[in-house]
Structures are given as C-alpha cells and as structure tokens.
Amino acid sequence: MKLGFRELRHNWKKYLLIEIIVFLMMFMVLFLSGLVKGLGRAVSSGIENMQADHFILKEDSEKLITLSSLSKEQYEEIQNEYQDKATPLDIQRMYFQKNKDAEKENVTYFAIDPDSFLNPDVYEGKALSSKEDQVVLDDDFASDGIRVGDTIIDTASGIELKVSGFTKDAMYGHTSIAYISTDTYQKIMKAVNPAYQETVHAAVVQGNVKAKIDGTEHYTKAEIIKAIPGYQAEQMTITMIEWLLVVITALVIGIFFFVINLQKEKEFGVLKAIGTGMGSLVGQIVSQVCFIAVFGALLAACLVVAMSAVLPVTMPFYLQASQAVIVLAAFVLISILGSLATVIRVAKIDPARIIGGDFQ
C-alpha cells in the first residue's frame, strides 16, 4: 500500500485527471440522486409528512384519494371505531389569486380537521385554526410574495382566505399544498356547486386498522404514495439513470487503471522477481483505486451538500443522507470490483519472461 501511495504522489498529474473525472461524475450522480428524491417528494411529500399509518378509502377508488368518496354514514362508522385516531382528509386541486388583478396560482387544497394530528407544523405565523376561513401555505408561495396576514381569493368560489402561516415541504402531484379546514372546504364546494353533498375523500388513521367497514378498503401510506399518478414511472426512470451513471463511473476507473498498469508490466515483473508477494501487489492496486474513488466521492458529496443549502425552494431537490451513503458505498465497491481485471493481468505476469527481455 505504501508503494501505491508513493506512486500516486510521484505521478500526481497523471492521477489528477482521473480524480477530476470521478469528482465530476459523482457530483452528477449525487445531484441526480437529490433530484430523484426531490421529484418524488414534489409528488408525495404532503402524504409522506403526515403522522399517519393507514388510509381508509372507498373500495373502488384504486388507491387514489381523489377518486374516493366515503359517505357520511361510512365516515361516522369509522369515527366511532377509531375515535381520535381517525380524521378526515379531502384533496382538491384548484386556483387562487393574491388579489383580483393577480395571476392565478395553481394549488392543491388539503382539507383537514385543525384539531387533528394532520394539522401541519408551521415555521412562520400560526397553525391552522377553524375559527375563520384560514389557510396554511407551502413555503413555495412565500417566494411569490405572499406573506402571513395576507388575504387570498379562491377563484372558483370567490371566498377569501386569510394566510395564517407557512409550512415547509408540502407538495402533492407537483403542486404546492394549501391546508384549509374541512368547514372551509365544504363552504367552497357549496359555493361552487349548490348541489354538493357532504362526503369525505379518505379517513386517515394512526396505528393499526381494525375490522373492515363495508364498502371501504384500507391501505398503508406507502401504497397510497405509489398509487399517485406518475410517481412510480418517474422514480423508476430517473433511478435507473442514476445507477447506470454509478456503474459507468466505476468502470471508467477500472479501465483507467487497467491501461496504466499495462504500461507497468516490467515494473510488476521485477517486483515479483525480487520476491514481492501477489498480496502486496493487489494491495497496491486496490489502495490506489480506493483512494481515487473515496476521495473523489467525498469531494462530490461535500459540494452537493453545500449547493443544497443555497438552492431555491422551487427546486425539487432533497438529498437524503441514507441514499447518498448507499450510492457512495456502491460506487466504491464497484470500483474495487472493476480493478479485478488489472489484478488478474498482473497475476499472469511471468518474471522470468520480463527479466529475460521477452516482453512485448
């Protein structure tokens, strides 16, 4: 290993090139990993952030909350069964305006009971209350100039909503969420459609589900998220690209070292002739690969973490530490496996042929 590091120091210009390539490619991989998770959370973070375990939907809803419609009787039965461990949830995509002359903002309303466990944490302002027509907005709307205390107008009903606070990372279907009370939601829907019948899209439950209620089906949070349109296809496509880049980057290192070591067959032959064991030679090769891979990956990780701190909230980027560690560990492991071609080549070197001058 010492010999390997001495060679890295002596021929640092040669190895710097591959280090730069590794750094840039791993930066791209980690940034893409953040985008994968960020895009996923842009679809589902509103559901992921809920302190809930199961969702009870109508049985023909195909796991989609927006297609479910529990009758008043069904929800009352659920409420009697679970008490304060169950709460209603309605999801409706609509538009609002900051004022009558402003452009329409695309929004997804999450109608909840403000006294339930679904009430989101706010980092600015006050939590959602049922005292008046209030709304808690995702922080994405703060970048549009909306402030706590402002009044926004639901464009479909004309009802004014007072902004009581802002929460972070609340998205559904690539649209920012606005939390309103169930009473406000029903007020909006009745204003839009006077024939509106009070129903509930879903009942959100904490803990384990009990006996099945007729006409309903229960699903875990993960099942609900996977059923959101576009979620799985989007995640599978980008994740495949991410892991393909990891493999390609690792193979680049393997090919580079294979070519470099082809040029050093005489040196390896001499080392074997003077009694250097194969284990020492393998240690030299693997230590060089490990150093290049680990150092480049750590530099890339540091840069991505630094960038994530200054990216705008509108950028769908979310770097998960566990995912980054898995990607980096897989990259280093594949790099080491890629160096086995070099090890096999060195093992086949005949010192007698090298010293005798029969080298081609």
pLDDT tens digits, one per residue of 105-123: 899 999 999 999 999 999 9
pLDDT per position as a tens digit, 232-265 = 888 888 888 888 888 887 788 778 777 777 777 7
Residue 334 tokens, joined: 């594949």
pLDDT per position as a tens digit, 257-314 = 777 777 777 777 777 777 777 777 777 778 878 888 888 889 999 999 898 888 877 7
**Rounded average pLDDT over 141-148:** 88
* Beta-strand relationship, 54-58 and 216-220: antiparallel
**In 3D, which of 17, 5, 9, 12 has the Cα closest to residue 284?**
5
DSSP classification of residue 99: S
Backbone dihedral angles phi then psi of residue 117, each to the nearest 5 degrees: -75, -5
Contacts of 227 (CB under 8 A, 6+ apart): 62, 63, 64, 219
The CB-side HSE value for 157 (13 A sphere, CA atoms) comes to: 18
**Res 101 pLDDT > 90:** no
Given this model, what pLDDT does residue 100 score? Answer: 79
β partners of residue 125: 165
* Beta-strand relationship, 134-138 and 160-167: parallel
**Rounded average pLDDT over 321-340:** 83
A 10 A CB-CB count for 47 gives: 23
**Rounded average pLDDT over 116-136:** 91
Given this model, what pLDDT does residue 28 score? Answer: 86
Residue 256 CB-density burial (10 A; 0-12 exposed, 13-18 middle, 19+ buried): buried
Average pLDDT, the chain: 85
pLDDT per position as a tens digit, 151-172 = 999 999 999 999 999 999 899 9
Given this model, what pLDDT does residue 359 score? Answer: 45
Residue 63 tokens, joined: 């796991």
| Percent of the chain surpassing pLDDT 70 | 94
Per-residue pLDDT band at 11 (split at 50, 70, 90): low
How far apart CA 153 and CA 140 sit, in angstroms, is: 17
Cα of first residue to Cα of last residue in the chain, in angstroms, is: 28
pLDDT per position as a tens digit, 187-221 = 999 999 888 888 899 999 998 887 778 889 999 99
| Percent of the chain surpassing pLDDT 90 | 34
Per-residue pLDDT band at 6 (split at 50, 70, 90): low
Per-residue pLDDT band at 341 (split at 50, 70, 90): confident
How far apart CA 306 and CA 309 sit, in angstroms, is: 6
Per-residue pLDDT band at 356 (split at 50, 70, 90): low
